[in-house]
Amino acid sequence: MARIIIESGGNEVKIDGRPSDIVALTMRAGADMYVAEDVMKEASIKKSELLKESEEDLEEGAK
């Protein structure tokens, strides 16, 4: 679950939704996005792992 907080005219509205929907709304609005540190650690991929996967994909395609 994700949450977007909208502030307007001194009022604050919190809206819960699917992470993909909240990210899409935030990006469309050009707003800042904040992610809890523990969520980033859990969901992130190390650059070295990503590069390794890319190399493996290239090798698979060459076969």
Q: How many domains does the chain have?
A: 1
For the entire predicted model, the pTM comes to: 0.58
Length of the chain: 63
Average pLDDT over residues 7-11: 92
- Tens of pLDDT, residues 27-46: 999 999 999 999 889 988 88
Task: Quote the CA–CA distance of 46 and 56 in Å, as a whole number.
Answer: 16
Task: Tell me the average pLDDT across 11-30.
Answer: 94
Domain around 51: 2-62
